[in-house]
Amino acid sequence: MPAPVIKLLETPEEMTLVEDLQRAVWRGSETDVVPAHIFITAIHNGGLVIGAFLEGELIGFVFGFPGLDFTPDGPRPKHCSHMMGVKPGRRDAGIGFALKRAQWQMVRKQGIDHITWTYDPLLSRNARLNIAKLGAVCNTYRRSEYGDMRDSLNAGLPSDRFQVDWWVNTRRVERRLSKRARAPLKLDAFSKANLQPLYTPLAWTEDLICPPEHFSPLEGRLLLVEIPSDFDAVKEADLALARDWRFFTREFFETAFAAGYIVTDFVYDEGKSFYVLSNGESTLE
Ligand SMILES: CC(C)(COP(=O)(O)OP(=O)(O)OC[C@H]1O[C@@H](n2cnc3c(N)ncnc32)[C@H](O)[C@@H]1OP(=O)(O)O)[C@@H](O)C(=O)NCCC(=O)NCCS
């Protein structure tokens, strides 16, 4: 695939293209399509709508707007990244990464050093992009963040989300976005360091795994925890199993974050998916 053209979107006509693209990405709920007039108001007030075009067709977008962090020292500006979507059939070709890279550059130019967004922690592809490739970190778990969602990707499950922190001026993030980004992490790096997964999911069918009943007490500086590699397939095959994964990982991540662990990496290797959590380590290096 040739490289897409990445550019800032500014006109009402471009915003209607983004409306159409949302219908292709999150099928089934017209109510959930962000309308052109909201994009226009947002971009006239510091918001950014960035598009990826291939041969003149819009195939991806990312949308965010300025927001506030409420810190003990008072409110502090941040960029709240609300939506990103790539057309089905165009995924896994680096479009999402290219859009976030452009957002990173533009937000830095606005003098803002922090971007946050939410995603479903059970989506392995999103985790690989957000945590492993972009260098975002997470210690905030939000239960049922958007209530009962109606679109085809989210209907039927509590809308629990990770809220990730992307500290855009840190060496960690600059290194991940540099031209010589690190190679994907492999599982054998962990086995060589004697780090074992905290729990082993049980085989459910040939293709599906189910969560264990319990996880061991959390100890040590690093934890490795497995999630399904294709949660959309789990949802489609067995919604009750998908709910089990939701409630198991909800309990696990809430316990881990309360104990001081932070999600700092993600491994997708040999068709398996693992979060890496760290305790007692700076996440801003
Ligand atoms: C999330 C989304 C925007 C990512 O866009 P994208 O263009 O596919 O992203 P990229 O290609 O830059 O990165 C995806 C990475 O995940 C990898 N990947 C693919 N399947 C995977 C899986 N099952 N598990 C882990 N990683 C996977 C890809 O190979 C790629 O990594 P690589 O570049 O090292 O090969 C896109 O998948 C999408 O539109 N999803 C539906 C809507 C959504 O979830 N939006 C985000 C929340 S608002």
pTM assigned to the model: 0.95
Report CA(124)–ligand 1 centroid distance (Å): 8
Nearest to 196 by CA among 220, 231, 212: 220
Report whether pLDDT(150) > 80: no
Write down the residue that tokens 């945590």 correspond to.
131
Residue where the block lists tokens 């060496």: 171
Residues with CB under 6 A from ligand 1: 25, 83-86, 91-97, 119, 124-126, 128-129, 184, 229-230, 268, 273
Q: Is the pLDDT of residue 268 over 70?
A: yes
Which residue's CA lies nearest to atom 18 of ligand 1?
Answer: 125
* Ligand 1 centroid – CA 5 distance (Å): 18
Helix (H, G, I), strand (E, B) or coil at 41: helix
Nearest-CA residue for atom 16 of ligand 1: 125
Distance 254 CA to ligand 1 centre (A): 25
Q: How many helical (H) and strand (E) elements, i.e. helices and strands, does the chain have? A: 8, 12
Take residue 245 and report the two structure tokens written for it: 């994964």
pLDDT digits (tens, 9 = 90+) for 88-110: 999 999 999 999 999 999 999 99
Percentage of the chain exceeding pLDDT 90: 83
pLDDT at 250 over 50: yes
Distance 277 CA to ligand 1 centre (A): 21
> Which residues on adjacent β-strands are paired with residue 269?
272
Q: Report residue 24 as tokens.
A: 């292709």
- 129 C-alpha vs ligand 1 centroid, how far in Å? 6
Measured distance CA(121)–CA(253) in Å, rounded: 9
Helix (H, G, I), strand (E, B) or coil at 161: strand
Local structure of 121: helix, strand or coil: coil
